[in-house]
Chains A and B, each alone.
Chain A
């Protein structure tokens, strides 16, 4: 084992030999290494959020034609650190009548639920926290914990806004979990494994080409799961003030903030693993550490698109949000699963024919969904503005797109 081919495995082996050489039993030294590794990974993820906050504020600033943070350090890069120092010395205000256990458990659990996903992410060929054979199910199960955190903090806050926001957000998270989990079936089916590392290994061709519809559904639902704009109904400031975290202050609020940013990036990492080939890239097998770079680059692009959506789109209304999940994304995800299952079984051998027909079927499906949306929109407009049909104006007049020339 050479240091330069895989520094991570080299280091682990070296430490293991060192500990055993000191007379520590093999099992204990393995346990100690796991403890150290887990601590470094979790701590690294938490500190990584500082970089994310800077990145997102800077990008959002650019999109909105302003500078973003630019005072502390070069390009404002120290700003999140200064914010962190400030928030660490803030008072924790506990309002009257809160239910103390859920109130304090909420912020801890919301971070833990996101952080726990990092335990199974395959960062490189060899650098995997725990290469579970059911890591996809683990990710889904842990994702459910975040919903509990929202309910706990909303319920425990003794505030009507918080409670309403918690109900709403649970309705949203539950609704979007359905298409998310169904879309997850497609990469599992294509790779024939529930292990994230096997899914990455199976992607000599990224699954986003084989299953673009499932990738699209997964991307949209994951943004809704994070609760970011345009799906940020949980923190609708104009109606619910701030949502389920309204009664929190100091670092307890900061933990929700951390969880939000970390969740957004974790879900980008998951998207990169499931649909963009994770650590796969040039020389990733020979030099696994290079895979880390590819992985984070891909996730960074996905994260950037998420930020782009966040700063571009207005918020959905709650009935629209529910309709998108149940009447558009769920049928679309089910159709994508059925199509992929049929075509991949009828053309079992890998090759241009299989790729081509999967891609064509997905594009056809996307086209059908688009057509259904347009027709539905026309029907809705006719229902809401019946005069537009009676007076002979074309339907498009109402949408303001094309004007029919007057006689």
Chain B
């Protein structure tokens, strides 16, 4: 019985509790659908065209910058956890690693990738 067993049990319960609550309320509530009630909401007028439209490329750029930093922090967490055993040289090395990524951030910044247009 490791701690991970508990995590597994807890995740199952965390999913089951809201699902059960929604199911119970579905049993309790009235079920009287009609076409007007089921129509898609859009400021009182009928929706035009497909919902799943094209969207801005800007989201992808932020997604890419995020990916770089998320991977960076994944590398940094083991370093931070072992921080007390590190020598000054190893700390400086990690700082160099961070600074290279800061240069990347500055490049994205100068290129205007961080502007919301």
Q: In the complex, A327→B106 CA distance in Å?
A: 9
User: In the complex, which residues of chain A have a beta carbon less than 8 angstroms from the beta carbon of B56?
Assistant: 167
Chain A's closest residue to B114 (CB) is: A326
| Given known contacts A90-B25, A95-B38, A159-B40, A342 and B10 CB-to-CB distance under 8 angstroms | no
Q: Which of A308-356 contact B (CB under 8 A)?
A: 318-319, 322-323, 326-327, 330-331, 334, 337-338, 341-342, 344-346
Mask, B15-36, CB within 8 Å of A = 1, is 1011101101110111111010
Asked if A130 contacts B7 (CB within 8 A), the reply is yes
Most A CB contacts (10 A, CB to CB) among B11, B25, B84 go to B25
User: Do the beta carbons of A250 and B25 come within 8 Å of each other?
Assistant: yes
> Main secondary structure on chain B at its contact with chain A?
helix
A383 adjacent to chain B (CB < 8 Å)? no
- Check B28–A119 contact: CB distance below 8 A: no
In whole angstroms, what is the CA distance A97 to B21 when docked?
24
B45 to chain A, nearest CB (A): 12
Give the docked Cα–Cα distance between A107 and B14 (Å): 12
Least distance between B84 CB and chain A CB atoms (Å): 4
Instruction: Kindly state whether residue A158 has any CB partner on chain B within 8 Å.
Output: yes
Question: Given the known A-B contacts A31-B1, A171-B62, A192-B82, are A93 and B52 also in contact in the complex, defined by CB atoms under 8 Å?
Answer: no
For chain B, residues 57 to 113, give those with C-beta under 8 angstroms from any C-beta of chain A: 59, 62-63, 65-66, 69-70, 73, 76-77, 80-86, 88, 91, 94-95, 98-99, 102, 105, 109
Known A111-B18, A171-B62; judge A93-B83 contact (CB<8 A).
Answer: no
B11's contact among A112, A189, A252, by CB below 8 Å, is which?
A: A112
**Cα–Cα distance between A21 and B19 once the two chains are bound (Å):** 36
Kindly state whether residue A163 has any CB partner on chain B within 8 Å.
yes
CB pair B10–A119 under 8 Å, yes or no, is yes
Asked if A93 and B33 sit within 8 Å, CB to CB, the answer is yes
Within the complex, the shortest CB–CB distance from B74 to chain A, in Å, comes to 9
Nearest CB on B from A59, distance (A): 26
A359 within 8 A of B: no
Query: A185 contacts B80, CB within 8 Å?
Result: yes
Indicate if the CB atoms of B17 and A346 lie closer than 8 Å.
no
Instruction: State whether A163 touches B51 (Cβ < 8 A).
Output: yes
Q: How far is the CA of A189 from the CA of B43 in the complex (A)?
A: 51
* In contact, B3 and A131 (Cβ under 8 angstroms): yes
Check A252 against B22 for contact (C-beta < 8 Å). Answer: yes
- Write the chain A residue with the least CB distance to B82: A192
On whether the beta carbons of B91 and A91 are closer than 8 Å, the reply is no
Q: Are A322 and B116 also in contact (CB < 8 A) when A88-B25, A108-B15, A137-B77 are?
A: yes
> Which residues on the B side are within 8 Å of A366 (C-beta)?
none
B69 touches A167 (CB 8 A): no
B30 touching A91 by the CB < 8 A rule?
A: yes
Contact indicator B65/A326 (Cβ below 8 Å): yes
Of the residues B24, B47, B88, contact of A160 by C-beta under 8 Å: B47
Question: Quick one: which of B14, B26, B114 contacts A112, CB cutoff 8 A?
Answer: B14
Among B19, B40, B62, the residue within 8 A (CB) of A175 is B62
Q: Is the CB of A42 within 8 A of B40?
A: no
Closest to B116 in A: A319
**A342 x B81 contact (CB < 8 A):** no
Task: Report the minimal beta-carbon distance from B27 to chain A, rounded to whole angstroms.
Answer: 10
The docked-state distance in angstroms from the alpha carbon of A207 to that of B84 is 16
- A241: chain B residues at CB < 8 Å are 41, 43
Contacting residues, chain B, for A188 (C-beta < 8 A)? 77, 80-81, 83
Known: A93-B37, A96-B40, A158-B40. A337 touches B29 (CB 8 A): no
In the complex, A323 Cα to B94 Cα: how many Å? 26
**Given the contacts A42-B14, A90-B29, A342 and B91 also touching, CB distance less than 8 Å:** yes
Instruction: Return chain A residues, CB-CB under 8 Å to B94.
Output: 341
Partner of B6, one of A119, A137, A170, A341: A119
Given A34-B1, A345-B88, A334-B47 contact (CB < 8 Å): no
A residues near B3, Cβ cutoff 8 Å: 130-132
Q: Give Cα A91–Cα B7 distance, bound, in whole angstroms.
A: 34
Query: Given the interface contacts A177-B70, A334-B102, does A95 sit within 8 Å of B41 by beta carbon?
Result: yes
Residues of B within 8 A of A97 (CB): 40, 51
Q: Given the interface contacts A91-B30, A115-B17, A327-B114, does A38 sit within 8 Å of B38 by beta carbon?
A: no
Give 10 A-B contacts (CB < 8 Å), ordered by A residue: A42-B10, A91-B32, A167-B56, A188-B83, A247-B40, A252-B22, A327-B114, A337-B76, A338-B98, A342-B95
Chain B residues with a Cβ under 8 A of chain A? 1, 3-7, 9-11, 13-15, 17-19, 21-22, 24-26, 28-33, 35, 37-43, 47, 51-53, 55-56, 59, 62-63, 65-66, 69-70, 73, 76-77, 80-86, 88, 91, 94-95, 98-99, 102, 105, 109, 114-116
Rank and list the top 7 A-B pairs by shortest CB-CB distance, nearest first: A319-B116, A130-B3, A251-B25, A192-B84, A119-B10, A115-B14, A111-B18
